[in-house]
């Protein structure tokens, strides 16, 4: 049974917190805008009042047990995922978390050569080994394409010890691979599938759009709400 998505637990908690007229003795130092008129005039009073520290009424992002936990459950339901984790360091941090959760030093991961540099940075940090798939090019537009299922399967066969496949969904030019086929191939060979959906979050919420990572059976996806 789907949740009632007319609710917004975190927003509701923030509104209730503002009505409590709390006297601030913690961070941030602007104290809801009172301590910095220049910043308040620039960003607006509502923005400043909602720039608050972690506290019991608003939960804690590092260990959510109340409203943030509830909001994550709503998000998971909306995305069709088993779990959703909110982060504050962008899709870059999410991509790195995905890679490092399935790969350790020496492990292989199959990924397109036009992957975002956040994935490359994750490999540097954890010591995983990239197996690159070079995408084709649309010569008329002069842009790289996505990985094909045949290319992914060839990379898996050549590297049977690989742990995962990372797919751009879409690429940064809006190109989508045949994600469902790639997921089926990877799972058949026992590999996890990670989706960089920093530019594909809207795939979950519109008709006539390419399929999302979760709908195709991917194991993890990094999405970006602000995009």
Do 95 and 74 lie in one domain? The reply is: no
| 25, 133, 154, 216 from 189: Cα distances, Å | 56, 17, 12, 16
pLDDT digits (tens, 9 = 90+) for 129-160: 999 999 999 999 999 999 999 999 999 999 99
pLDDT for the residue 181: 99
Do 151 and 181 lie in one domain? The reply is: yes
Which domain covers residue 37, as residue numbers? 9-79
pLDDT for the residue 4: 84
The model carries a pTM of 0.90
Do 47 and 139 lie in one domain? The reply is: no
Specify if 116 maps to a domain.
Answer: yes
High-pLDDT (> 70) share of the chain, %: 100
pLDDT digits (tens, 9 = 90+) for 44-101: 999 998 898 888 899 999 999 999 999 999 999 999 999 999 999 999 999 999 999 9
CA distance 178 to 193: 13
Containing 129, the helix (H) or strand (E) segment is strand 129-133
pLDDT for the residue 1: 57
Specify if 3 maps to a domain.
Answer: no
Q: How confident is the model at residue 21 (pLDDT cuts 50, 70, 90)?
A: confident
Paired sense of beta strands 137-138 and 220-223, if any:
unpaired
pLDDT for the residue 226: 82
Give the count of domains, the chain: 2
Q: What is the CATH number of the domain that holds 177?
A: 3.40.640.10
pLDDT for the residue 156: 99
**Pair 202, 99: CB distance under 8 Å:** no
Specify if 4 maps to a domain.
Answer: no
Do 217 and 115 lie in one domain? The reply is: yes
- Alpha helix positions (H), the chain: 9-19, 37-43, 45-49, 67-79, 90-102, 117-126, 149-158, 179-188
CA distance 213 to 86: 17
């Amino acid at each position: 049974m789907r949740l009632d998505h007319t609710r917004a637990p975190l927003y509701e908690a923030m509104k209730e917190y503002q009505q409590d007229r709390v006297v601030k003795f913690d961070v941030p130092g602007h104290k809801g805008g009172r301590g910095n008129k220049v910043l308040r005039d620039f960003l607006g009073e509502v923005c400043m009042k909602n720039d608050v520290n972690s506290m019991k009424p608003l939960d804690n992002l590092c260990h959510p047990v109340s409203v943030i936990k509830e909001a994550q459950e709503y998000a998971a339901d909306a995305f069709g995922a088993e779990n959703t984790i909110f982060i504050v360091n962008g899709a870059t941090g999410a991509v790195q978390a995905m890679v490092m959760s399935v790969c350790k030093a020496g492990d292989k991961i199959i990924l397109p050569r036009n992957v975002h540099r956040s994935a490359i940075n994750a490999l540097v940090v954890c010591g995983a080994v990239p197996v690159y798939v070079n995408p084709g090019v649309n010569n008329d537009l002069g842009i790289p394409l996505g990985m094909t299922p045949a290319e992914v399967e060839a990379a898996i066969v050549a590297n049977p010890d690989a742990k995962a496949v990372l797919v751009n969904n879409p690429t940064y030019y809006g190109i989508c691979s045949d994600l469902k086929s790639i997921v089926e191939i990877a799972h058949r060979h026992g590999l996890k599938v990670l989706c960089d959906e920093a530019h594909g979050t809207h795939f979950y919420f519109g008709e006539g759009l390419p399929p999302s990572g979760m709908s195709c059976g991917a194991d993890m996806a990094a999405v970006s709400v602000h995009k």
